[in-house]
């Protein structure tokens, strides 16, 4: 019993001495570093050259002209010249892909106003302009959904809460959705419709599609901004100047 007691006492004394010694031998050092322009005096020339090279490559890509806009295009709900242009280009780009895969054409396209972050200036259109308009890395997606589920999407729209749409006609009255058609035709409950959209919306972003049950989803590793760039280049190659306007895809009836 005494041996056990002495062993514990000796162990405690040894542990205490080690800890005290470690604390006494540990030295602290600190200095105040000002986060200002004085760092430029000690710039790493290798890193500075590398960053300059990256900036030059970036500027060369961003300044590349891909077309010309007839006028400045802005965006606003429930429809606008720029949002109509972008969702129409998404619709065309989506159909180009489906055609290349020998699949049936899409029925409509859906974007969100929140993803459009800048106006398209009049005159030359550069790659950088499209990056400013669409800065997020959203990619193209196809949602396949039955008509009865697609109705839930439309019924969630109001005059103030809606989305850019292509190949769709909607009518609002007193702020509420009155009617909607796809290519001028009412929805059929059991028919499967193809929506060209972006991955952000397909996974429930902005909750436009969150209430609908999908038959399937096809995600492409294609940034939506690349779709816009390709469509502008295609129109430019055909001698078409970029333009867009408000049309009859959205109608707002005044209160009686």
Q: How far apart are CA 140 and CA 222, in angstroms?
A: 6
Q: Is it the case that residue 40 has pLDDT exceeding 80?
A: no
Mean per-residue pLDDT, 8-29: 52
Count of domains observed in the chain: 1
Bridge partners of residue 253, in order along the sequence: 173
- Over pLDDT 90: what percentage of the chain? 75
Mean per-residue pLDDT, 218-237: 97
Tell me whether residue 21 is in a domain.
Answer: no
- How confident is the model at residue 86, as a pLDDT? 98
Helix (H, G, I), strand (E, B) or coil at 183: coil
Tens digits of residue pLDDT in 117-166 = 999 999 999 999 999 999 999 999 999 999 999 999 999 999 999 999 99
Residue pair 206/114 in contact (Cβ under 8 Å)? The answer is yes
Mean per-residue pLDDT, 47-52: 76
Label the pairing between strands 216-223 and 139-146.
antiparallel
Tokens of 224: 């939506």
- How confident is the model at residue 59, as a pLDDT? 78
Mean per-residue pLDDT, 74-79: 95
Q: How confident is the model at residue 19 (pLDDT cuts 50, 70, 90)?
A: low
The CATH number covering residue 113 comes to: 3.90.780.10
In 3D, which of 170, 181, 184, 183 has the Cα closest to residue 253?
170
Q: What count of Cα atoms within 13 Å lies in the side-chain half-sphere of residue 129?
A: 22
Tell me whether residue 202 is in a domain.
Answer: yes
Q: Is it the case that residue 10 has pLDDT exceeding 50?
A: no
Tell me whether residue 129 is in a domain.
Answer: yes
Tell me whether residue 111 is in a domain.
Answer: yes
Question: Does the pTM exceed 0.85?
Answer: no
Which residues, in sequence order, are CB contacts of 184 under 8 Å at separation 6+? Answer: 169
- How confident is the model at residue 74, as a pLDDT? 97
- Over pLDDT 70: what percentage of the chain? 84
Q: Is it the case that residue 99 has pLDDT exceeding 70?
A: yes
Residue pair 90/111 in contact (Cβ under 8 Å)? The answer is yes
Lowest mean pLDDT among 51-65, 120-134, 174-188: 51-65
Q: How confident is the model at residue 51 (pLDDT cuts 50, 70, 90)?
A: confident
Tell me whether residue 224 is in a domain.
Answer: yes
Tens digits of residue pLDDT in 195-218 = 999 999 999 999 999 999 999 999
Q: How confident is the model at residue 55 (pLDDT cuts 50, 70, 90)?
A: confident
Mean per-residue pLDDT, 220-227: 97
Q: How far is CA 77 from the centre of its chain?
A: 18
- How confident is the model at residue 183, as a pLDDT? 96
Lowest mean pLDDT among 27-31, 106-110, 203-207, 215-219: 27-31
Q: How far apart are CA 194 and CA 183, in angstroms?
A: 13
DSSP 198-252: EHHHHTTGGGSSTTSPPSEEEEEEEEHHHHHHHHHHHHHHTTPPB-----TTEEE
Tell me whether residue 87 is in a domain.
Answer: yes
The domain containing residue 74 runs over which residues?
Answer: 59-146+193-245
Q: How far apart are CA 199 and CA 183, in angstroms?
A: 24
């Amino acid at each position: 019993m005494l041996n056990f007691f002495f062993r514990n006492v000796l162990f405690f004394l040894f542990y205490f001495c080690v800890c005290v010694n470690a604390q006494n031998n540990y030295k602290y050092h600190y200095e105040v570093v000002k986060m200002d322009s004085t760092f430029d005096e000690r710039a790493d020339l290798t890193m500075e050259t590398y960053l300059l090279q990256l900036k030059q490559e970036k500027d060369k890509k961003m300044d590349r002209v891909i077309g010309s806009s007839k006028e400045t295009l802005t965006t606003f709900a429930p429809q606008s010249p720029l949002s109509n242009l972008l969702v129409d280009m998404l619709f065309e780009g989506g159909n180009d892909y489906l055609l290349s895969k020998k699949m049936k054409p899409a029925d409509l396209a859906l974007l969100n106003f929140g993803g459009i972050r800048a106006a398209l200036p009049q005159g030359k259109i550069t790659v950088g302009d499209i990056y400013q308009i669409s800065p997020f890395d959203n990619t193209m997606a196809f949602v396949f959904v039955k008509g009865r589920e697609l109705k839930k999407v439309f019924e969630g729209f109001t005059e103030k809460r809606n989305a850019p749409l292509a190949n769709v006609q909607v009518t609002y009255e007193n702020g509420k959705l009155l009617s909607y058609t796809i290519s001028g035709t009412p929805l059929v409950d059991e028919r499967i419709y193809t929506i060209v959209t972006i991955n952000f919306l397909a996974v429930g972003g902005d909750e436009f599609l969150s209430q609908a049950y999908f038959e399937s989803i096809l995600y492409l590793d294609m940034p939506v901004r690349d779709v816009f760039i390709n469509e502008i280049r295609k129109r430019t190659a055909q001698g078409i100047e970029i333009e867009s306007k408000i049309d009859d895809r959205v109608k707002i009836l005044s209160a009686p």
